[in-house]
């Protein structure tokens, strides 16, 4: 979440005339995130989030909102969009598609505990198990081909050594990724700031704007990389996350075998996207620039093979040398 498009109080007051959620009391921009413009919106009836879609057209935003509504129908804690007096969920504000969401209770965690990681693993597995029941079909634009496209855009601005390192990882991935793995709906961005906890339990899973269809272990790898790495790999968190996941959905032998490959790819994917954002930043009032070097170093950790993954013995990740 960020603020690229500035919205004045009078603009929001005019927007709220179309809703039955009270009058504006307070409006402030949210810095976290990098995709859309987001504001906290307090009215006389409650607390909400106002989102302006910076990169999605109206049809694309509507598809994501429909996905979140389907998830809610299956008791999944996705964001709850507010409809206006005519039953519409999307409006136009500052020439951008815009929506208002109920603000869920709780807050995100900076330093996840093993118990929080176990809950996250269960929630991710529940999402994957819902895939056959959800009508949503969107290819992953940040798959291997999409990442290669990002690399081609930023390659002229990178040091030669960095470019060679990235090219070597692409070669590794092209030889090992498997398109036949179990696939379906994935979140694709389940970082710590996209999950809220209230009274010790997950109260909301946020930001489905990169949701797409791809293999489930890519989603698991993305989550593991963020929830289980802070300067060093945290085995206890990784073990808890995998235990939570497999308590709902057990991984196949092929998924277990290729999980290290997708841990590497997930690190590469976010290293590239953050490099792109750093080299080609979007102008904004409040924007958060996330450090690409975190994922560069994490990729090197995975490449070093100093993490041995043992799914069959207590479903743990153990530190060691392969």
- Residues of the chain scoring pLDDT < 70: 1-3, 32-34, 283-289, 308, 310-322
Write the pLDDT tens digit of every residue in 194-249. Answer: 999 999 999 999 999 999 999 999 999 999 999 999 888 998 999 999 999 999 99
Describe the strand order of the beta sheet including 24-29 as a list of residue ranges. Answer: 24-29, 37-43, 47-52, 96-102, 91-93
| Residue 81 neighbours by CB under 8 Å, 6+ apart | 65, 68, 69, 89, 99, 100, 101
* Spans of all domains in the chain: 9-102, 114-319
Considering the entire predicted model, what is its pTM?
A: 0.92
Which one, of 173, 165, 135, lies nearest residue 263 by Cα? Answer: 173
Contact (Cβ atoms closer than 8 angstroms) between residue 188 and residue 212: yes
CATH number for domain 114-319, candidates 3.40.1160.10, 3.40.50.300, 3.40.190.180, 3.90.1200.10: 3.90.1200.10
Structure tokens at 115: 């118990």
Place of tokens 């910076």: 54
CATH number for the segment(s) 9-102: 3.30.200.20
């Amino acid at each position: 979440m960020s603020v690229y498009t500035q919205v004045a109080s009078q603009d929001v007051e005019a927007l709220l005339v179309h809703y039955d959620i009270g009058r504006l009391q307070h409006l402030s921009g949210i810095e976290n995130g990098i995709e859309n413009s987001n504001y906290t919106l307090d009215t006389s009836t409650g607390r909400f989030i106002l989102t302006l879609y910076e990169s999605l057209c109206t049809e694309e935003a509507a598809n994501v909102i429909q996905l979140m509504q389907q998830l809610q129908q299956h008791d999944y804690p996705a964001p709850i969009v507010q409809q206006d007096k005519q039953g519409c969920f999307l409006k136009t504000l500052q020439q951008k598609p815009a929506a208002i969401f109920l603000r869920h209770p709780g807050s995100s965690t900076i330093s996840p505990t093993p118990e929080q990681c176990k809950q996250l693993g269960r929630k991710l597995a529940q999402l994957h198990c819902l895939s056959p029941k959800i009508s949503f079909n969107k290819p992953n634009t940040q798959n291997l081909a999409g990442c290669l496209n990002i690399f081609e855009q930023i390659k002229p601005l990178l040091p030669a050594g960095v470019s060679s390192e990235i090219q070597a990882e692409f070669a590794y991935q092209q030889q090992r990724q498997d398109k036949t793995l179990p696939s379906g709906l994935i979140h694709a961005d389940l970082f710590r700031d996209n999950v809220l906890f209230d009274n010790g339990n997950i109260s909301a899973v946020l930001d489905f704007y990169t949701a797409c269809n791809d293999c489930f272990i890519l989603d698991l790898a993305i989550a593991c990389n963020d929830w289980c790495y802070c300067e060093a790999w945290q085995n206890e968190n990784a073990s808890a996350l995998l235990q939570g996941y497999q308590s709902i959905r057990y991984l196949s032998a092929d998924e277990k075998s290729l999980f290290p490959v997708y841990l590497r790819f997930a690190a590469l994917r976010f290293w590239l996207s953050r490099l792109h954002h750093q080299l080609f930043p979007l102008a904004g009032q409040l924007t958060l620039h996330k450090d690409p070097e975190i994922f560069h170093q994490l990729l090197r950790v995975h490449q070093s093979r100093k993490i041995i993954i043992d799914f069959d013995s207590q479903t743990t990740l153990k530190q060691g040398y392969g």
